[in-house]
Amino acid sequence: MAHPNAGKLVKKEDLINVDALIAAYYNDKPDVNIVEERVVFGTSGHRGTSLKKSFNETHILAIAQALCDYRKTQEVKGALLIAKDTHALSTPAQLTALRVFIANGVECIIAANDGYTPTPVLSFSVIEANKSSKELCDGVVITPSHNPPQDGGFKYNPSNGGPADTDATSVIEAKANEYIKNNLEGVKSVSEEEALAKTQEMDFITPYVKALDSIIDMKLLQQSKLKVGVDPLGGSGIEVYKKINEIYGLHLDIVNDKVDPTFSFMSCDHDGKVRMDCSSPFAMASLVSLKDKFDLAFANDPDFDRHGIVTPTGLMNPNHYLSVAIWYLFQNRPLWSKDLKIGKTLVSSSMIDRVAASIGKPLVEVPVGFKWFVDGLCDGTIGFGGEESAGASFLRKDGSVWSSDKDGIILNLLAFEITERLKKDPSVIYRELEAEFGVSYYERSDAVANAEQKAKLKKLSPSDITSKTLAGEEIEGIYTNASGNGAAIGGLKVTTKNGWFAARPSGTEDIYKIYAESFISPEHLVRIQEEAKALVLSVI
């Protein structure tokens, strides 16, 4: 059940105290003997808040030095491109990291004029830099993505431009915690003044925007008479949309151009918290309320790696839009190789499977996390990689790599291209897909599990499952490794002809997540969910 404040403007008394947050960042010291205060690289880097001693100057000093050490082992000697978003802790963390990087002799480049840089722009910039650089360049994105205003995040993107894999992050994480345990002994640093004096600045945004016509039909958009609204949700890409209007002469209506670290303009999410999740109808309530004013509207989270598409019928479900984007792209990119594959995470809708089969394209199903698409996007074998949490990227019109991290900007502009070319918006197209392939009933829910049970769930094998049926249908597949690349799921997926469920333990809470889908009915979905819980409990 939704919180009473869900969808309502955040109350003044619930806004964060930015001064207290930043003071805690510098003054509070974590204890590595407390699990919650250690450096932990999840699917998208280390995240936490200074108020709980999980994202403090100590963490960033240690992570930055560990990253310098790791770069040496990988012989990465080129420039380190550093992006930050609009969260209050992002600027202090950038300053801290620069002090360490410069002390270690790393060539650092940040956005000009203390600007903000979206995750996809950083990924694009790393890829572009490595086309001409004599030494390999890599990147850092300082962002907790859509997380609440009090959070901070630190993510490493190696020379392929995409999110680092666990081989890299496990090494950096372990070394960072070792530095903290030893009171930062061995961590080099200089003063902020020296760090800034030796750091280069660059306009990351203009080259990215100028190149957009290589991936989106910008000429088509220039001719459009559609009314299109944009809400950057106070994020790092406000200047991107302004630059798009400037360079291409578009008339995107930027309905909110405020940057406010308290995010006071946000509507509360389903649980009453402030969360800049552009796939949440509660967080997106202000833009959804303007749907009748526009033919199409879209938004992004603070680091712009996620997309949110609003049509006259409301906010599109991310799974629905991914299905439409795939259906459209593989039929409207004539220069793409006929051998290109479609990438999806195993908890994304099976509507994608049905669309892929209808257009004769092979599907690569991978575990949760965009890092699994990086190699395929970089070598041009995956045309589109997407995950259920509104994150995706795809290739340029000529089939070459654009970004190897999620790009909410191109997904939003693609919705504009689709609507203009086909004279119908993506939600209309999705209803046509439903008419052809069936209606999907999809939901993610949580179930209680203690640490021991979560550990068992993570290490299951298909032979542990003895059930032959799920919600009245014969079980066709049981997976603890992804079918597309053989990588461990860290949980379980069970499939039937018209339904499936996947169960994965949470990394931060005493729960496991159940993703389920039915192509029969809402009642069938409930049966899948209930039987999934019983089945999981029987083996953990």
pLDDT digits (tens, 9 = 90+) for 247-262: 999 999 999 999 999 9
Q: 260 to each of 49, 85, 267, 499, how far by Cα in Å?
A: 18, 11, 14, 43
**Three-class SS state of 386:** strand
* Spatial distance between the Cα atoms of 444 and 330, rounded to a whole number of angstroms: 28
**Three-class SS state of 122:** helix
> Given this chain, do its domains 207-263+275-437 and 441-539 carry the same CATH topology?
no
Q: How many CB atoms lie within 10 A of CB 469?
A: 10
Give the per-residue pLDDT at 42: 81
Domain 441-539 class in CATH: alpha beta
Give the per-residue pLDDT at 321: 98
Is the pLDDT at 43 greater than 90? The verdict is no
pLDDT digits (tens, 9 = 90+) for 112-161: 999 999 999 999 999 999 999 999 999 999 999 999 999 999 999 999 99
Output Rg (C-alpha) for the chain, integer angstroms.
23
pLDDT digits (tens, 9 = 90+) for 496-537: 999 999 999 987 678 899 999 999 999 999 999 999 999 999
Sketch the domain layout of the chain as residue ranges.
Answer: 12-203, 207-263+275-437, 441-539
Give the per-residue pLDDT at 508: 65
For strand 228-231 and strand 253-254, is the pairing parallel, antiparallel, or unpaired?
Answer: parallel
Is the pLDDT at 335 greater than 70? The verdict is yes
Tell me the mean pLDDT in the region 346-375: 96
pTM listed for this prediction: 0.96
pLDDT digits (tens, 9 = 90+) for 433-487: 999 999 999 999 988 898 899 999 999 999 999 999 999 999 999 999 999 999 9
Q: Locate all alpha helices (DSSP H) within 276-425, ordered by sequence.
A: 285-288, 318-329, 351-358, 374-378, 408-422
Q: Cβ(299)–Cβ(228) under 8 Å? A: no
Q: Which residue among 125, 145, 159, 518 is the active-site one?
A: 145
Element (H, E) at 168: helix 166-181
pLDDT digits (tens, 9 = 90+) for 10-33: 999 999 999 999 999 999 999 999
Query: What token pair was written down for 26?
Result: 């510098």
Q: Cβ(215)–Cβ(282) under 8 Å? A: no
The answer to whether residue 145 is catalytic is yes
Q: Which of 42-46, 98-102, 235-239, 343-347 has the lowest mean pLDDT?
A: 42-46
Percent of the chain topping pLDDT 90: 95
Task: Say yes or no: domain 207-263+275-437 is CATH 3.40.120.10.
Answer: yes
Residues in Cβ contact with 99 at an 8 Å cutoff, skipping those fewer than 6 apart: 61, 64, 189, 190, 191, 192, 195
Strand partners, 473: 470
**Three-class SS state of 267:** strand
User: What is the residue-averaged pLDDT of the chain?
Assistant: 96
pLDDT digits (tens, 9 = 90+) for 74-118: 999 999 999 999 999 999 999 999 999 999 999 999 999 999 999
116: left (phi over 0), alpha (psi -120 to 50) or beta: beta
The topology (CATH level 3) of 12-203 is: Alpha-D-Glucose-1,6-Bisphosphate; Chain A, domain 3 (3.40.120)
* Spatial distance between the Cα atoms of 339 and 352, rounded to a whole number of angstroms: 17
Chain Cα centroid distance, residue 155: 11
